[in-house]
Amino acid sequence: MLDAQVRELLGQVDLERFLHVRAVELPYGRKRALELATTLAMAPELMLLDEPTQGMAHEDVDRVTSLIRKAAAQRTVLMVEHNMQVVARIADTITVLQRGKVIASGQYAQVSRDPLVMEAYMGSDASLAGASA
């Protein structure tokens, strides 16, 4: 029974071909997928993820982003992520904080154009002018 559950979870995160590979021998992106599988094994209603794609190669980012999106179909996912391409692909609602204060909240298209968000990420005209001087 447990073997069947393990195989199912590994299938959900595209790791079934790594069934007999020790976790320590997995590439970094596959280890992150295994972390998702162990979390999914607990059948959480809420998943908290902190920078789930940090330090990954591009192909791993795409794979893990897809896995998170799939996992989010059946539960709430609260995620801290600074890769805006990942955020755009996954998030239904985005809340941007600056120094602990909410500066914008809504859908990606709206929030990504918000002047306060742009200033928080890119700096003000004055700070950019100072950087080039």
Per-residue pLDDT tens listing for the chain (133 residues) = 778 888 888 888 889 999 899 999 999 889 989 999 999 899 999 999 999 999 888 888 988 899 899 888 889 999 999 888 899 999 999 999 999 999 999 999 999 899 999 898 887 655 445 544 4
Residue 83 belongs to a domain = no
Looking at residue 75, what is its pLDDT?
Answer: 92
Label residues 82-99 b or e (16+ Cβ within 10 Å = b).
ebeebbeebbeebebeee
Residue 86 belongs to a domain = no
Q: Which amino acid is at 19?
A: L
Domain range enclosing 102 = 93-133
Residue 17 belongs to a domain = no
Beta strands in the chain (DSSP E): 46-50, 76-80, 94-98, 101-106
Question: Structural domain tally of the chain?
Answer: 1
* Cβ neighbours of residue 105 closer than 8 Å, sequence gap 6 or more: 93, 94, 95, 96, 111
φ/ψ of residue 56, rounded to 5? -95, 150
Residue 125 belongs to a domain = yes
Looking at residue 126, what is its pLDDT?
Answer: 53
φ/ψ of residue 27, rounded to 5? -60, 160
Looking at residue 76, what is its pLDDT?
Answer: 93
Looking at residue 57, what is its pLDDT?
Answer: 86
Tokens of 5: 């559950």
